[in-house]
């Protein structure tokens, strides 16, 4: 009986992440680690990939940690224009060192344009490789904001993510 109980002592923790960035000319658009053909990109100290930033914040939240800005501060020049995939890779390595397993991630990107549905399979492929999870353990959905607020007016893109972690 003790061995059964020992195997059942994993903690499940959840985290919620959100990020939004303004769209500007003169920058490439990265979402979910994929460069998308679009006339504008997301303004940020890094590449501005709000989907990855939301996932990072959700992971950090599940661990009870401070947000992405604390761990990868914009005051640190090493993060200037860095690809967010590198930030996520660094965080996943830390999770692995602590034997933390990502059980599931669900996410939502909110943008008027570009239309994102066609890019979701590629985003999943890139992110699953970094997160070391299968495609069934990562949900990515795309929605519009129905013309409401800065996102709805095509001035910004936002993302939400929720995660479940298994912690020994």
Convert the pLDDT of each residue in 51-102 to its tens digit. Answer: 999 999 999 999 999 999 999 988 888 889 899 999 999 999 999 999 999 9
Q: Is the dihedral of CA 143, 51, 18, 92 positive or negative?
A: positive
What is the model's pLDDT at position 5?
Answer: 52
pTM of the model: 0.93
CB within 8 A of 154, min separation 6: which ones?
Answer: 23, 112, 113
What number does CATH give the domain 11-167?
A: 3.30.1330.50
CB-side exposure of 89: number of CA atoms within 13 Å? 9
């Amino acid at each position: 009986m003790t061995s059964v109980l020992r195997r059942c002592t994993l903690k499940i923790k959840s985290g919620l992440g959100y990020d939004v960035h303004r769209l500007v000319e003169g920058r490439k658009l990265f979402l979910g680690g994929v460069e998308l053909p679009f006339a504008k990109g997301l303004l940020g100290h890094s590449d501005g990939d709000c989907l990855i930033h939301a996932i990072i914040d959700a992971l950090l939240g599940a661990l009870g940690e401070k947000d992405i800005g604390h761990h990868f501060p914009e005051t640190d020049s090493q993060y200037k224009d860095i690809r967010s995939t590198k930030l996520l890779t660094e965080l996943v390595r830390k999770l692995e060192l602590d034997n933390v397993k990502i059980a599931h991630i669900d996410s939502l990107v909110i943008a008027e344009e570009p239309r994102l549905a066609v890019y979701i399979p590629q985003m999943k492929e890139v992110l699953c490789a970094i997160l070391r999870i299968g495609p069934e353990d990562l949900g990515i959905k795309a929605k519009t904001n129905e013309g409401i607020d800065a996102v709805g007016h095509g001035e910004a893109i936002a993302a939400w993510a929720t995660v479940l972690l298994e912690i020994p």
